[in-house]
Amino acid sequence: EVQLVESGGDLVQAGGSLRLSCAASGDTLDDYALGWFRQAPGKEREGVSCITVREGIIYYADSVKGRFTISSDNAKNTVFLQMTSLKPEDTAVYYCASRKSWNTDYDYWGQGTQVTVSA
């Protein structure tokens, strides 16, 4: 029902910034929550942030709180993750995912975009 395409991953120095984009198609996002996840080699997949599109309820993992900002642009059907003060431990493949806002399971996933933060 929802197709997601991430973009914006890059190589950046510690302390730098990146803006990830998740372009959605196939359905209106008013009833959806959009989440950002990341997975580093040898580590479990970690929930980074999510936003419910209609209600505007936002969640951040403690590890990124104060550094990352999630936002949505309804006209562009896109969700963003603005990342600042990046640390080497932020290095991971970042994935965008969607779920109905009243559900807990994320049903649709993008292909991922690589973020590498050098020391």
Residue 1 has pLDDT above 80, yes or no: no
Confidence of residue 74 (pLDDT cuts 50, 70, 90): confident
Confidence of residue 76 (pLDDT cuts 50, 70, 90): confident
Residues near 56 by Cβ (< 8 Å), separated by ≥ 6?
A: none
Q: Read off the pLDDT of residues 84-93 as tens digits, 9 standing for 90 and up.
A: 999 999 999 9
- Percent of the chain topping pLDDT 70: 100
Cα(12)–Cα(9) distance, integer angstroms: 9
Torsion of CA 111, 46, 74, 56, to 10 degrees: 170
Residues near 67 by Cβ (< 8 Å), separated by ≥ 6?
A: 83, 84, 85, 86
Q: Averaged over 8-25, what is the pLDDT?
A: 97
Q: Read off the pLDDT of residues 27-64 as tens digits, 9 standing for 90 and up.
A: 888 899 999 999 999 999 999 999 998 989 999 999 99
